[in-house]
Chain A
Amino acid sequence: MAITEEPPLILELESGETKPSTGAFARPTYAKGWRAWVFTVDHKKIGIMYGAVAMFWFLWGGIEALLIRTQLLTPNGTVLTAEQYNQIFTMHGTTMVFLVIMPLAAAFANYIVPLQIGARDVAFPRMNALGLWIFVFGGIFLNLSWFLGGGPDGGWFAYAPNTSVTFSPGAGMDFYAMGLQIAGIASLVGAINLIVTIINMRAPGMTLLRMPVFTWMILVVQFLLLFALPVITVALVLLSLDRTFDANFFNVGMGADPLLWQHLFWIFGHPEVYILILPSFGIVSETLPVFSRKPLFGYSVIVISGAAIGFMGWGVWAHHMFVSGLGPVSVAAFSATTMFIAVPTGVKILNWIATMWGGKITFTVPMMFSISLVSMFTIGGLSGVMHSVAPADTQQTDTYFIVAHFHYVLFGGALMGLFAGMYYWWPKAFGYKLNETLGKWHFWIVLVGFNLTFGPMHILGLQGMARRHSRYGPEDGFDFWNLMVSIGAFVILIGMIIFAINIVKTWLGYKAGTIEQSPADPWDGRTLEWSIPSPTPEHNFDYVPVVTDLDDFWHKKYQKDENGKLRKVADGNAIAQLGDQHPHLPSPSYWPIVLASGLPLIALGLIYTLWLTGIGLLVLVAAIYGWSLEPHTDPDVGHGHGDDHDDHDEPDGDHSENLIDSPKDESTEEAPVG
């Protein structure tokens, strides 16, 4: 934390002039080329990079899934050895959860949240970049294991003691433990940043209950991250200490209780699954009203139930341990708490349906993905309720019935929602719409493939097919449905390839000018991000929007006429801001990426040779100092007005010069507490 709360230091002299006192390092000023991306602190570029990297890992995790499916295509498959299979399903789960869904959600959170709350950036732009690069290096680090003796092979929840050195002698589990710690730091940094941003950087007038649902859900998710990450960090630290320094936390010979790991993991793990789903719930809460042309049904109930899910998510973790040897009291208690989590979720589902009910629905691609979330997630949620019946779960757990459940909620829920978000906000981010026809192909093929893949898994599970088995015998009667599942997986691949083609084609078309520039408000949107040009100008808002309503932008477009009837009074594109102002923006910075690069070095050193750790620590310390000694802004400072907040928002320091001609306001005065 030393990193975060040491703001750049500015010496304010008695005379009132400021000088960057210790600013020993100039800040980069690249506006174009790769360096503009690598050193950026702009939340939009960071968001896009999160998305791009996550899509790369999605491809990778998908390839792993296809390997799994090829192996299981027939009984006694021989495509992979048992060793490879175990590594691949472990990394498939880990990749999809930590390197795909979480960063995709982070992509939207970074890109969209500041826009939805009318801010020009997040509270701490450099910390934002830091989070991105730590995540990037963490992902690379995790996958380095493939080249250094094999991936982790303990399953994504890595139950001890199977993950101890005795039973998993390769370095794979070390990469897992350290890689996830690194990724965890990234998420923690991001979580704190977004929490502060959402609490503190909203546009004037945007009270909590005027906040868009997406922003709300992201807020809930960041709190879940804030409180869940330390728990898995502890679990992973204990595991690392066991593996690297011969500690005894999971050494049964010393009297360890292996259930400790399970508790620690799932205390994190269950909130984690809501971390994965809530952003998508937020996304569809944006799209469904827009494409139904109705306000969200029961806004406050949806918000509250989102928060309730977040809360209740802390009281159900042991439903993953129904057969682990908990006593009957625990099992019964956790069984009951788990069931009731269906209530707030159900409220959401039904409110979404009620939102569409009576609407005028246009079936754009984002809408189709959103509706498929509503229906496919429900299937997954309902099988979740079936697991929550603890006695029944003793038959279901660790079979493909569970695999079916979580793919329905993760793919059918989280991923479908994220795809809805991609199609929905694509024009805002890139200035053009994805092709709707290709998008529909993408949607339908994926929907069919998805159900073909994961639907039959219910049957397989109920037939007794255990998960994490690298093979099954011909006598078990699993052949047919496994064949279908594997075919389905390749159908999904086709769908995803169409998506990739869509991206490339439309981009080329946009460059060539055959695809038109998207207007500011292509979907007749409701929230602030549609009140600024597409693609978003660098500074987001020309003028800080002053908000008086929920769905404020929509209310600017539709107002009651004299008969009290709602009428369109303005076209969103006509009243959108022009993006022609040039407020001052925070400068890029070298240090986030440098700082981040220290972490994988430290971790590698812990696995192999300690001197690497030393180098990593040096990089880290140097970067922290570089970070804090960096001047606040680039040489432009003092030119434009409206210098935006950098890592700190003190109205003093270098701002003081500009503040002279600002009307003094109490809230600016009271900021420095002391």
Chain B
Amino acid sequence: MNVITDSHVEGTVEHEDHGLSDLGYIKIALLLAVLTAIEVLTYFVDFGVLEVPSLLILMVVKFQIVISYFMHLKFDSKIFSYLFITGLVLAVVVFAAMATSLVFWTDPAGCDAGRFC
């Protein structure tokens, strides 16, 4: 590899790291299964106020695990992460703002209509 390539390869390509062994993946899958079981548990057992936050946290954790291990993001080039995470973050932020605007910050008189808010 000569000088020029060095300067122009921007991604940090971690070629050594190819992810986990099969067993590792199976363990991950088991973890995911357990998390899912907890999620489903919320349906049968009353978690009270904790229900929504715990579901959201579990969801995020599962999401995170799948993209980092199954989808290799953890081991792959950062460029892939940037591409995907940009979309993801944009999606979450923009639609959270939209929902807020539509649901909470709507015109006060709009609420007089009763059924609409």
Contact = CB atoms under 8 A, between A and B. Distances in A.
Direct contact of A and B (CB under 8 A): yes
Interface of A: 195, 199, 202, 204-208, 223, 226-227, 255, 257, 259-260, 263, 267, 314-315, 318, 325-330, 546, 665-667, 670, 673
Contact of B8 (A207, A314, A673): A207
Q: Which 4 A-B pairs have the closest CB atoms?
A: A327-B105, A330-B101, A329-B105, A330-B105
A257 B116 contact: yes
Given A227-B90, A670-B13, A260 B8 contact: no
15 contacts: A199-B79, A205-B7, A206-B8, A207-B10, A226-B87, A257-B116, A260-B102, A263-B102, A315-B94, A326-B101, A326-B105, A326-B106, A665-B5, A666-B5, A673-B15
- The DSSP consensus for interface residues of chain A is helix
B1 interface: yes
Contacts of A255: 115-116
Interface string B70-85: 0000001001000100
B73 to A, nearest CB: 13
Contacts of B102: 257, 259-260, 263
A263 B1 contact: no
Contact of A207 (B7, B104, B108, B110): B7
A61 to B, nearest CB: 30
A665 B105 CA distance: 58
A267 B98 contact: yes
Interface residues of B, number: 31
Given A315-B94, A667-B9, 11 more contacts: A202-B8, A205-B4, A207-B8, A208-B10, A227-B86, A227-B87, A227-B90, A257-B102, A260-B102, A327-B108, A665-B1
B4 A263 contact: no
A205 B110 contact: no
B97 interface: yes
A325 B106 contact: yes
A546 B91 CA distance: 38
Contacts of A267: 94, 98
A315 B4 contact: no
Nearest to B115: A255
B112 interface: no
A382 B8 CA distance: 40
Contacts of A226: 87
B107 interface: yes
Nearest to A207: B8
A207 B6 CA distance: 11
Contacts of A667: 1, 5, 9
Contacts of B1: 665-667
A251 B15 CA distance: 54
A323 to B, nearest CB: 10
- The DSSP consensus for interface residues of chain B is helix
Contacts of A318: 101
B86 A223 contact: yes
A199 B10 CA distance: 9
A205 B5 CA distance: 7
Nearest to A267: B94
Interface in B1-26: 1, 4-5, 7-10, 13, 15
Contacts of B10: 207-208
Given A207-B7, A223-B86, A670 B15 contact: yes
B105 A204 contact: no
Most chain A CB within a 10 A radius of its CB, from B9, B86, B102, B108 = B102
B84 to A, nearest CB: 11
Contacts of A205: 4, 7-8
A201 to B, nearest CB: 12
Nearest to B107: A325
B108 A314 contact: no
Nearest to A315: B97
A327 B97 contact: no
Contacts of B15: 670, 673
A158 to B, nearest CB: 18
A195 B76 CA distance: 18
B5 A204 contact: yes
A564 to B, nearest CB: 26
Nearest to A665: B1
Nearest to A259: B102
A208 B9 CA distance: 10
Nearest to A263: B98
Contacts of B116: 255, 257
A83 B23 CA distance: 68
Contacts of A257: 102, 116
Interface string B49-92: 00000000000000000000000000010010001001100110
Contacts of B106: 325-327, 330
Contacts of A327: 101, 104-108, 110
B13 to A, nearest CB: 6
Contact of B4 (A223, A227, A260, A546): A546
A206 B7 CA distance: 9
B85 to A, nearest CB: 12
A327 B108 CA distance: 7
